[in-house]
Structure 1
Amino acid sequence: MPLLRRYGLLPALVKELVIDQAIAAVTLTPEQLTQAVDQFLQTNQITSPEQRQGFLAQRGLSDADLTGLAERAAKLQRHKADIWAPKVESHFLQRKASLDRVLYSLIRTHDGGLAQELYFRIQDDGQPFAELARQYSEGQEAQTGGLIGPVELSVPHPALGRMLSISQPGQLWPPTRVGEWFVVVRLEKFLPARLDEPTRQRLIDELFNTWLAEQVQLVLHEHGAD
């Protein structure tokens, strides 16, 4: 225990022990175990006997260990689906605002006067946003004509995210101070989040990981290790 604490490994060990306890009651049929091993090999991009032996040798594992790892991974997926899948719909509704995606155009500059001029050149003179972004924007977006995305609304600066969340496609915002920048931004496209299979799995993982982190902290606190 002192060594685990010294090297910062105790939380990682507790995490694995909590997982073991959570999946203890999950059972797999022989067919499911075979599928689990196949899935494990596929996930780790092991497609030949030579790669399999190299994988085992590199980690000091046996074939039995590999089967155990595959079984544990499959049990964990089953546990997540059984416990957390029923909570996904409500979690999705809570998270949807940050999962919605936007495609937008951005010009940013440290010069407020320039930002004002560029806004009027786009708004009143009809100059192409992309052309001005390539010439004047001071961020990496200059390389794409100011175009950014699609990205989730949680990705941009919070102030920028709020602007985009209440924008209509094609809406151009006057220069706005965002952090150290003056930005001119236009929403190009709004892509509402859908509860498709990848999103469903991501939200199951989120729910599980939140619960797991809480359990780890409880155990560490009980043992005076936090």
Structure 2
Amino acid sequence: MAGTVVFDLDGTLADTSADLIAAANACFEARGLGALLDPVADALTAFHGGRAMLRAGYARIGSDILLPPGAEDQDYPRLLDHYGRNIARHTRLYPGAGAALSALSADGFRLAVCTNKPEALAEILLRELGVRDAFAALVGADTLPVRKPDPRPYRAAVEAAGGEVAASFLLGDTETDRRTATAAGVRVALVGFGPEGEAIARLAPDALIGHFDELPDLARRWLR
């Protein structure tokens, strides 16, 4: 049976930070607070999710401004709505990602996505980027009652792709991905071109890749 490569999405396959930050800023601007987050300086915060962006923004408002109770719960669905309508305005695949997916498929590997982005939004984004058909399975934040770093979404992604967990590995960009792989009992490769750059090596992944060109050879070494 061919091995399975499981991909995280945001910060791994594609740089989604600018569109995520724009969605959070739209919420702040609707409250008259202005654009509180910077698409470059706050890119890492973007990859920790919508609520993390909202909290980071709220923390920057002056002490003379009082938010109404439940502001985060009000703004979160607004953020998702804005993001869904502008999901690929600035988002791009990382260099070499498309070619790597083609090479992996040509070598017979099964491909899946396991992300903490809501499944419907992940579906839309992958289609907008032109790579949805490369993946045999997609598991999002709300596909199951749990999300990464719980290992169950990872296992579900591998199994839905027709693979076996023992013959799989995860490609990601965050501590959440590192913890997910450990919980699932599989190896993890982290990307050195994501929001943290090569500093992500602090998490001691089984491999660190600096460009997608390196991924097909890594898959051959680990899964054959």
TM-score range, shorter chain: under 0.3
The normalised TM-score by structure 2 is 0.22
Instruction: Tell me which protein shows more helix as a share of its residues.
Output: 1
What is the TM-score when the length of structure 1 is the normalising length?
0.22
